[in-house]
Amino acid sequence: MDKLYYPAIMHPESDGGYSVWLHDISGCSSQGETLSEAVENIKDALGLFYEDAAEGNSTLPAPSTPNGTALEPGEFIAVIEFSPSEYLKTRSTKAVKKTLSIPTWLNSMAEAQQINFSAVLQSALVERLNAGLGK
């Protein structure tokens, strides 16, 4: 699941700005003063729903197609592109504890150099997985 494309219902407000919600995910809504802000805000809301689903060992509903979505006068559909992996890279800071084993001699050398094991492991994993930000 690299990218998901959810249709969002955009509702222009009479006093300016937009309300926006995802028909496929009950309660996933947001707003913005501009169209661009509304799109970014609904992506953030979708990310929170994604994180909540992942913590509860569930999944997001599959995106539907915008065909047949009932709209009120003035409303329109915007397709929202969402990449769970990119979202987590930029917004999820929750740490996960991992237990690992290394040879005693390597541990002694690293401790003598005051090496931060977590930082080294994170850096190595990002490099190994080619998972740097912006890639």
Q: Does residue 135 have a pLDDT over 50?
A: no
3-class DSSP assignment, residue 47: helix
pTM: 0.69
| Digit-coded pLDDT (tens) for 74-87 | 999 999 999 988 88
HSE-CB of 66 using CA atoms within 13 angstroms: 15
User: In DSSP terms, which residues pair with 49 in a beta bridge?
Assistant: none
Report whether 73 contacts 61 (CB < 8 A): no
HSE-CB of 75 using CA atoms within 13 angstroms: 17
